[in-house]
Amino acid sequence: MARFAVRVVSWAALFYLVLPLAVIIGSSLTASSFLAFPPQGVTLAWYGKMLGDPSYISAFAVSTILATLATIVAIGLSIPAALAIARYQFPGRQVLAATLMSPLILPHIVLGAALLQYGALIGLTRNFGALLVGHIIIVMPFILRAVLPQLTASQERLEEASADLGARPVTTFFLITLPQIRSGIVSGAIFAFIGSWINVELSIFNTTAELNTIPVKLFNYVQYTIDPTIAAVSAITIIVAAIAIIVLDLTLGLDVLSERR
């Protein structure tokens, strides 16, 4: 029965999706000194150890500030561009849209390498600014992708009505356009924040021992040793992801696959 096969594959796939995350959270609680799953005993000691290590705290701070700033700048650059692309015909419009979206499919390792080489030429390497420009580039497509579909023709009629009633363009933008695309900006911003927060391929070229992001620090660490502290740090990032998703779900609704009915 085809229906039965679909169910079995789906349940197996869902199990497959949950398994590694469950293993990480589980093994972060182990009382043993080595990584064990199922955990042997339950303790929060590894979380304590992580909090006692200033390099982790600093990496969390760097990642958070980086993701926040990158998202804010990306919104500032993307919204006007989205308006231009959605509302005006101008030469190079398609090229602009394609270019702004291209970091989504471009190998990040290539982009990271390019920024490193270019940064070396203009003196922008291994500092926060170098990390920030790269992250802005890779998160802008998330904002554009979320906002562009909301700048519809029917919304353009609302803007015309606003202009007709005597509102200046800037007033129309803040009173009419912005409220209509707010949900797109919020969801785009969350995706952008996370896209920056989890990035390794781009950051890895510009991080140093002192200026490190959480995923890069984890990456460097995991290649040499595996201990329950790593699991605790990873578990924290999973919890941040879960919180972001719950925020998304509560504010905008995540039931993205049920337009039918």
Partner 1 sequence: MAAPYRTVALLIGGSVIFFAAFFVAPMTVVALASISSKDGALTLAQYARILLDQYHWDVLWVTFRLGALTTIAGVLIGYPLAWYLVRVVRWSAWRRVCIILLIVPLFTSNIVRSFGWMVLLGRNGLVNEALVASGLVGRPIRFLGTELGILIGLVYILLPFIVLSVGNGLAKIDETLEQASADLGARPSATFWNVTFPLSLPGLMAGAVMVFMLAISAYVTPALLSGGRITVFSMLIFQQYSSVFDFNYGGALSITLLVLSLALVAVASRIGEARGG
Residues 199-238 that bind partner 1 (CB under 8 A): 199-201, 204-205, 214-215, 218-219, 222-223, 226, 230-231, 234, 237-238
Assess contact for 80 and 178: CB atoms under 8 A: no
* The binder of partner 1 chosen from 107, 123, 153, 210 (CB under 8 A): 107
Name residues contacting partner 1, limited to 48-67 (CB under 8 A).
none
Q: Which stretch binds partner 1 (CB under 8 A): 42-50, 51-59, 92-100, 174-182?
A: 92-100
Nearest to 141 by CA among 175, 100, 181: 100
Q: Rule CB under 8 A: is residue 192 a binding residue for partner 1?
A: no
CB 204 within 8 A of CB 112: yes
Stretches 46-54, 145-153, 180-188, 195-203: which one binds partner 1 (CB under 8 A)?
A: 195-203
**Residue type at position 91:** P
Tokens describing residue 177: 């356009």
Quote the longest CA-to-CA distance of the chain.
71
- The helix (run of H) or strand (run of E) holding residue 79 is helix 54-87
Helix (H) or strand (E) holding 120: helix 108-122
Binding flag, residue 4, partner 1 (CB under 8 A): no
Q: Which residue type sits at 106?
A: L
Q: Which is nearer to partner 1, 7 or 157 (CB)?
A: 7
Task: State residue 166 phi and psi, 5-degree precision.
Answer: 100, 10
User: Quick one: 17 or 44, whose CB is closer to partner 1?
Assistant: 17
Contact between 170 and partner 1 by CB under 8 A: the answer reads no
CA distance 8 to 2: 10
198 lies in the site for partner 1, by CB under 8 A:
yes
Contact 96, 78 (CB under 8 A): no
User: With respect to partner 1, which residue has the nearer C-beta, 210 or 255?
Assistant: 255
Of the listed pieces 51-59, 74-82, 145-153, 177-185, which binds partner 1 according to CB under 8 A?
Answer: 74-82
- x/- mask, partner 1, residues 128-167, rule CB under 8 A, reads -----xx-xx--x---------------------------
HSE-CB of 246 using CA atoms within 13 angstroms: 6
DSSP at 254: -
Smallest separation (angstroms) from partner 1 to the CB of 66: 14
Figure out which of the listed residues 66, 116, 148, 185 binds partner 1, where binding follows CB under 8 A: 116
Check binding of 256 to partner 1 (CB under 8 A): yes
Rounded distance between C-alpha atoms, residue 206 and residue 66, angstroms: 13
Work out how close the CB of 140 gets to partner 1 at its nearest, in angstroms, rounded to a whole number: 7
